[in-house]
Amino acid sequence: MKKSTRTFCVRTSLIAFGLLPAAFAQTIPGLVSAGDYTPGTLGSALQPARMAAGAGATYQVGKWPTYTAELAQGAGRDTVLGNCSMCHSVTYITQQPPLPAATWEAEVHKMIKTFGAPIQDAAAQEIITYLQAHYTPENRKQ
């Protein structure tokens, strides 16, 4: 790569990332426009300023859903509800794609070994059996 091309690429990148002022773009031949970014901490999402409410302004705030996902009926359902929902919503189970039986077993062991879920061995086996009986590709109810 020639030195002039490399310099052009570096300048363009620095301007695009807001590290050089846009006025510096004037010195780059062939540059049509340069990015203009809002100042802020890298990686932060800036929000627009709060609007002042005018006379008669109304707004609504919806309720945060507080329902528990409906798990399939069957042996082990109460064990799943009692053990899994102490750390997360059981919606995490129902929104997964149908997973192979071995994956469900690995997930339960991951929750215990990696995340420290306080689940006894007998309950873990019951949870695995339940998940394999209701949430695998072979038997997932739509």
Specify if 141 maps to a domain: no
Specify if 51 maps to a domain: no
Question: Please, which residues have CB within 8 angstroms of residue 99's CB and are 6 or more apart in sequence?
Answer: 107, 135, 136, 137
Any idea how long the chain is?
Answer: 142
CA–CA gap between residue 86 and residue 98 (Å, rounded): 23
Specify if 46 maps to a domain: no
Q: Which candidate, 96, 80, 90, places its Cα nearest to that of 137?
A: 96
The answer, as to whether pTM is greater than 0.85, is: no
Specify if 43 maps to a domain: no
Q: Which domain holds residue 121?
A: 77-134
Domain count, the chain: 2
Specify if 97 maps to a domain: yes
Specify if 1 maps to a domain: yes
Specify if 58 maps to a domain: no
Going residue by residue through the chain (142 aa), what tens digit of pLDDT does each one get? 555 555 555 555 555 555 555 555 455 566 555 555 555 555 555 656 666 767 776 666 666 666 667 899 999 999 999 999 989 988 889 888 899 999 999 999 999 999 999 999 999 999 999 999 999 998 876 5
- Whichever domain contains 124, its CATH number is 1.10.760.10
C-alpha angle 72-74-78 in degrees, rounded to nearest 5? 85
Specify if 69 maps to a domain: no
